[in-house]
Structure 1
Amino acid sequence: MANACDVLVIGGGIIGLSTAYAITRSAPGTRVTVLEKEPAPAQHQTGRNSGVIHSGIYYRPGSLKARYAVQGAAEMVKFCTEYDIPHEVTGKLIVATERAELPRLHSLVQRGRENGIPVRELGPSQIVEYEPHVRGIAAIHVGTTGICDFGAVTRTLARLAQDAGADLRYGHQVRAITRRGGEVIVSAADTQFRAKVLVNCAGLYCDRVARLAGLRPAMRIVPFRGEFYELAPFAADLVRGLVYPVPDPAFPFLGVHLTRGVDGGVHIGPNAVPALAREGYRWRTINPRDLAQTAAFPGTWRIARRHWRYEIEEIHRSLSKRAFTRAVQRLLPDVRPEDLIPAASGVRAQAVLRDGTLADDFLIAGSGPYVHVLNAPSPAATASLPIGREVARRAMEALRTV
């Protein structure tokens, strides 16, 4: 039957394609179709990040983030090695630059050890041994952090899924979802697809896809843009590896960090500013529908009231290169504004609840023939292989009951 399948996955990012790959491996012969609105995979969150394989040190012990990040980091290194994808286990420094940060740094040490992550505490002279141009009063070295090309990982997952029989359809934006006669009918790009189970891995649009399928999730995706610079080639030797600030636990973003990528370039960022569109990679990109939906959601205003001081500072750094440079100079005193070259930005699909709370963990929901991935921010790329298996497991359970 044309365009009929057992499991239909919406979204061709790393989570959607990891799910398709996991299904083809665990249940050969299952008919899998993946719909992606872009002409190629990994065009949004997956392909627009700093490329860090996270260790899992930041996440609450016992949370999905902690469990999947620790497991996923090891699996990602193995996967990249097996398929010859550029990667390196570099380790990273988390650096305190003022005394008020020391209790939070020590909490990270404890959290890392609870999560089974090797952590080494450093003093100022030891920081300089790792990073001669970085300054701090204390730091920790996290040995299992690495870097890779997540776009290449996703393209490899797509190829492996296709080789196992999955049908990947690019340029197919989902317009409507209905149920008819025990099947899910999905309309995309003037074509109808019939599936027994639907998996929503739509990232920036996951809440809209959920509503098309009849779910009324208590969350809404509120987009935050992360802006990056890169060090000019003549300044690239200021950073050897990965350097992070001590994160503020009151806000879910890790702060501006320094990342030498697999291409040898050094990225600096991201900040976190409200995006005026779900694909708002620039200030001048405005989508009236996206903006209206964000403004109409009560959680948007509640989070704004809670974090307005933080966001004013972030917006200031977004609009002023000198302000951004001053933030970087806390870690890297020798950097100058002329050393920073604007680089491609990304947009984080942050799930926000109606009370203004930011969803702190991966969120997978749904019943009947539906599985919805409703919150999968960083470290989702790192954790994509175990997340894909979990989503695949839920999809196969749903398939057995329909």
Structure 2
Amino acid sequence: MEGGGSMEDWRIRPIQEPVQLGSYPASDVTFLLKDLSAIPLEQSTDDRERAIQSGTHYSEMLPVEQQPAADYLALYHETLRLSAKKVALAVGTTAEMIRSNKGANTVLVSLARAGTPAGILIRRYLLEIHQTDMPHYSISIIRGKGIDENALMYILQKHPGAKLQFVDGWTGKGAIRKVLSEACSKMDRDYGIKLDDDLAVLADPGQCAEMFGTREDFLIPSACLNAPVSGLMSRTVMREDLIGPHDFHGSKFYKEWLEQDLSNHFISAIVPFFSEIAREAEQIAVDFTEQPPSMSWKGLRDIQAIQNEYAVADINLIKPGVGETTRVLLRRVPWRILVDRLDNPNIRHILHLAEAREVPVEVYPGLTYSCCGIIKSVKGDAE
């Protein structure tokens, strides 16, 4: 970069040391987030919708987070029982691709909060199967506001010369993938920092990630719950009156729920399968490397077609994939559910939940995803 000043500035930018947050062991992840636990940020659904409609960004407040109801927990435990080995294979495959593409001098950077359990599992796999100990941080990325640049600079200062690998749980429409690409371009423009904007996810039904465990659209059990399976951390917050120029983006740590926490339970249910799936994961990763699957973004094109066909005003009201559709049925006000076919084994619980809530289900042939949930139209919905 001309002048040379900007390129050096980030190396000496004063950034606060992270505080210990979350219910995971410190060896599993470092949350680069400012602790906002003492600040009342939660608003009711109605109040949040009114605020969003009047122009407030969704990251400036939090939904009221509650302990999961019995049906959430039952679905989580049942899904975990049925899919733990499948999740382990997706983790192993993704980890093998990261190892092959990036090498041992890599830092895992998971995108809070759905990416955090995925990053921990990938780190555990590489440690157990290959004795490779990759540092792992969880940082904030927000649609409309970008990535936490202070968090990135902290990592780069702590690990000079290392490659960064961004990690998330799964892809939907690919919105976060686009925010990540834009953020990496901005880091290059503003500071001369060149980062790989590739994304590693456990499941890529949206067909918009470079590295993935599978493109099958199945329910990753952690999608059933919020904070209780994400280290008891809230969604991330970015509000200028709370986050100073040298601060990380914010989050709340619900430490009062430690007795009900399932974050480490989820990790410990997957890890025992690693040795069993390691050889298969390695072979799948080799196959992917030799014949890289294309990034077609077919998922986004499907969602755009659905938006037009069903006259949905805001594309954010369409939630693609099994995980997001499950969330719509458990937490939101669903309008209808679209499925690729009724006999898809990955959507049995979707059909049960839809029937229980009297939500119409329609077959949408050729859908990239197993299913999509459409939320009843409320202007300004942005989650």
Q: TM-score, normalised by structure 1?
A: 0.23
Greater RCO (Cα-Cα under 8 Å, separation 6 or more): 1
Structure showing greater radius of gyration is 1
Q: TM-score, normalised by structure 2?
A: 0.24
Structure with a larger share of its residues in helix: 2
